[in-house]
């Protein structure tokens, strides 16, 4: 059980909370409750002194000069959730929604946002009971944070928005009743505290990081398998070579490939002294992603465990601080970078696959890796169409690498005149990962097919392929069938790419 508020959340914590229903809750200890109660009390103290707080005693955004009189202050938070109910596009899936909720709760527990214990507890109970708001993916420019998508969480807390609960869509008030919970009346500042933050882009970013880490590991293994299938030169990955250009991630990728090639006969004379770039330079391609993952982790984990709404209330002094921590620039940069690096890995795998299916370059493998022999060989085309599909998926991934941050738009009467576009970048990154996982699923099947063909024809033995790679092949079992006769492969590909996206295939 992940206890939000106990200590800073890691990317692995967010992944676990996202992947398993009910895996997270609000830390129940009194220290957290005291911090939250003090934070909410500070809002009351400022209001009692007839102080001015943006979004509490004023309108929102460009309307910050509009005074909200005392009798309307308590209606204002609910109105905020309502007028932002304009999101469109697909709904975030359950994993994405859980990640967003966990990240928002982590931010609120920092104690700078002025929310009550009751609100934090209900949000924690929604996570623990897997009551998931239906959050449209489109409608945020990433400053003032993820206002529109997060309004669907705020509205659900108040009992007004639809949620997914026990496999059914219903209004949140009905789900709360079934779960023995009650909606809350949003206090002053609470609607803004939930909505005016970066939880959607950051939650999606955390999931994207975990999947990108898996892409790095799998593409390293597939490079080793492609080299074996092509009967290439394993000396391209020797350790002394990577001391000469010591980027740590690049060296780590070379080590992984080298370990997987340990059993491959290094005395065997390769067909080419130097393999083509998609094999020889794989550490230099994948290694850039591997080198940047730690930097992206730092940006994401800092954002997850930060107070990123506005205004903030200093929990020590009670001072109301008006700023712009809702701006998602760090997350946008991380996601723009991540999607570009992942798409480059897709392009690498596409090139490796193209070599393996082409009899002009594959060093004696059957054309298109067909497993058919004899009189049936002419009517079987193996991986021909899969290679075309891989090219299409790769092209689409590459097309999405235009950085979102450079498309900032002036919005909301020129109050939000410079915005991050972080949520669009995070959504792009998720889509690039989906496409890349499809490419890697196809490449996995092709590498396994090629190795099996070599073994079938006596050109390779299990011993030369090596234990790590054969353990990987054996573990996939029926998920990676030998293709001997042409047959539709869409379900096999969908199943395998889905497992890759869920990190269910150990690398």
Residues forming the active site = 54
Q: Cβ neighbours of residue 260 under 8 Å, at least 6 residues apart?
A: 220, 221, 224, 225, 466, 468, 469
C-alpha to C-alpha distance for 382 and 388, rounded to whole angstroms: 12
- Chain centroid to CA 130: 20
C-beta atoms surrounding 138 within 10 Å: 14
Q: What is the 3-state secondary structure (H, E, C) of 217-238?
A: HHHHHHHHHHHHHHCCCHHHHC
Q: Give every strand in the sheet of 168-171, ordered side by side.
A: 132-133, 162-165, 168-171
- How far is Cα 170 from Cα 150, in angstroms, rounded to an integer? 18
Task: Indicate the pairing of strand 2-4 with strand 24-26.
Answer: parallel
The Cα–Cα gap between 289 and 249 comes to 8
Contact residues for 455 (Cβ-Cβ < 8 A; gap 6+): 461, 462, 465
Characterize 483-502 residue by residue with b for buried, 16 or more Cβ atoms within 10 angstroms of its Cβ, and e for exposed: bbebeebeebbeebbeebbe
C-alpha dihedral sign at 188, 52, 421, 303:
negative
Q: How far apart are CA 458 and CA 50, in angstroms?
A: 86
Asked if residue 403 lies in contact with residue 425, where contact means CB atoms within 8 angstroms, the answer is: yes
* 8 A C-beta contact, residue 236 and residue 261: no
Q: Which residue has the tokens 């022999």?
A: 373
């Amino acid at each position: 059980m992940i206890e939000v508020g106990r200590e800073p959340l890691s990317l692995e914590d967010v992944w676990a909370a996202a992947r398993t229903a009910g895996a997270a809750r609000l830390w129940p200890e009194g220290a957290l409750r005291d911090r939250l109660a003090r934070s909410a009390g500070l809002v009351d103290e400022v209001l009692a002194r007839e102080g001015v707080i943006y979004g509490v005693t004023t309108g929102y955004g460009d309307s910050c000069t509009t005074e909200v009189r005392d009798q309307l202050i308590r209606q204002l938070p609910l109105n905020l959730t309502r007028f932002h109910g304009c999101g469109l596009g697909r709904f975030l899936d359950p994993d994405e929604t859980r990640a967003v909720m966990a990240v928002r709760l982590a931010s609120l527990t920092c104690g700078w946002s002025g929310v009550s214990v009751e609100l934090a507890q209900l949000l924690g109970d929604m996570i623990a009971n897997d009551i998931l708001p239906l959050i449209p993916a489109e409608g945020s420019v990433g400053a003032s944070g993820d206002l529109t998508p997060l309004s669907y969480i705020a509205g659900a807390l108040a009992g007004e928005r639809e949620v997914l609960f026990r496999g059914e869509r219903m209004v949140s008030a009905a789900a709360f009743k079934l779960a023995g919970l009650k909606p809350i009346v949003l206090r002053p500042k609470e609607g803004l505290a939930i909505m005016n933050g970066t939880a959607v882009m950051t939650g999606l970013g955390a999931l994207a990081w975990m999947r990108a880490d898996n892409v790095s590991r799998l593409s390293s293994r597939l490079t080793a398998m492609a080299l074996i299938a092509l009967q290439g030169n394993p000396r391209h990955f020797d350790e002394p070579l990577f001391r000469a250009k010591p980027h740590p991630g690049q060296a780590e990728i070379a080590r992984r490939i080298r370990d997987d090639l340990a059993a491959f006969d290094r005395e065997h004379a390769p067909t080419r002294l130097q393999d083509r770039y998609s094999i020889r330079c794989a550490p230099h391609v994948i290694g850039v992603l591997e080198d940047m993952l730690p930097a992206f982790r730092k940006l994401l984990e800092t954002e997850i465990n930060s107070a990123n709404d506005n205004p903030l209330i200093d929990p020590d002094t009670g001072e109301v601080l008006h700023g712009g921590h809702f701006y998602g620039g760090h997350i946008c940069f991380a996601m723009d970078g991540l999607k570009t690096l992942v798409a480059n890995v897709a392009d690498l795998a596409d090139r490796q696959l193209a070599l393996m299916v082409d009899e002009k370059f594959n060093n004696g493998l059957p054309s298109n890796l067909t497993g058919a022999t004899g009189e049936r060989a002419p009517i079987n085309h193996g991986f021909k169409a899969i290679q075309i599909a891989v090219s299409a998926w790769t092209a689409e991934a590459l097309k999405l690498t235009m950085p979102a941050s450079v498309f900032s738009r002036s919005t909301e009467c020129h109050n939000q005149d410079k915005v991050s576009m972080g949520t669009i970048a995070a959504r792009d990154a998720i889509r690039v990962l989906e496409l890349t996982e499809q490419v890697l699923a196809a490449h996995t099947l092709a590498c396994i097919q090629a190795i099996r063909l070599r073994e079938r024809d006596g050109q390779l033995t299990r011993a030369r392929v090596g234990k790590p790679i054969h353990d990987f092949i054996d573990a996939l079992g029926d998920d990676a069938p030998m293709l001997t006769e042409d047959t539709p492969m869409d379900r096999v590909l969908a199943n395998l790419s889905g497992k890759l996206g869920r990190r269910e295939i150990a690398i």
